[in-house]
Chain A
Amino acid sequence: GQQLNQSPQSMFIQEGEDVSMNCTSSSIFNTWLWYKQDPGEGPVLLIALYKAGELTSNGRLTAQFGITRKDSFLNISASIPSDVGIYFCAGRPTSGTYKYIFGTGTRLKVLA
């Protein structure tokens, strides 16, 4: 089935550093979402993007909807220990009103 390529798969960073991750697809998407999952919990929505080129922030998090509509990016500035978790991107294809396709996730570990 269709899947989004999310990178990096995992990363260790020092507290205070900025983090960047991205998601790419061979298909065009109408909507991009970014989720964070804490251990033992379900994913929680961080940011939603609805049109190409859109740049949206949520606190220290900033996400962008790629101009080609085939990619999206998430940046975390000045990371803190509670940023640890798995970050998922999700895209809604043009041909599938109800369903999102999820990336494989980026596991973030922050070293204090």
Chain B
Amino acid sequence: DAGITQSPRHKVTETGTPVTLRCHQTENHRYMYWYRQDPGHGLRLIHYSYGVKDTDKGEVSDGYSVSRSKTEDFLLTLESATSSQTSVYFCAISESPGVVGYTFGSGTRLTVV
């Protein structure tokens, strides 16, 4: 398969609780991304990583943090979940973004109640 796994696939959490989503890859790709998908907005970049411990913010990073301590894992943390963070979250990986684009995971559907 594509070698990218997101966990969990579905999660329901309460407002104010911390939540961590995991993206795991077996492709040894350098670049990893977190996007959220909402109706009418398409896919919006939250954070991305261009190497171990090298991360940067995307266009909708407020309320989110990330960590990448090893090549294969990229974690997205919602420090204190809010209802506006109810969304479908996609992880993507790339060996060379300008050449081959991204490969996406299957997504995590997060509901904050």
CB within 8 Å of B: which residues of A? Answer: 1-4, 6, 30-31, 33, 35, 40-45, 48, 88, 90, 92, 97-105
Contacts and interface: CB of A to CB of B under 8 A. Distances in A.
Contacts, number: 64
5 contacts: A35-B104, A42-B105, A44-B104, A48-B100, A48-B101
B14 to A, nearest CB: 25
Nearest to B38: A104
Contact of B40 (A43, A90, A99, A104): A104
A101 to B, nearest CB: 8
Contact of B43 (A41, A97, A102): A102
A99 B48 contact: yes
Contacts of A99: 33, 45, 48, 58, 97
B74 interface: no
B101 A33 contact: yes
Given A48-B100, A92-B97, A97-B97, A102 B106 contact: no
A106 B107 CA distance: 19
Of A31, A100, A103, which is in contact with the most chain B CB atoms at under 10 Å from its CB?
Answer: A100
A98 B59 contact: no
Contacts of B45: 99, 101
A1 B42 contact: no
B102 interface: yes
B98 A97 contact: yes
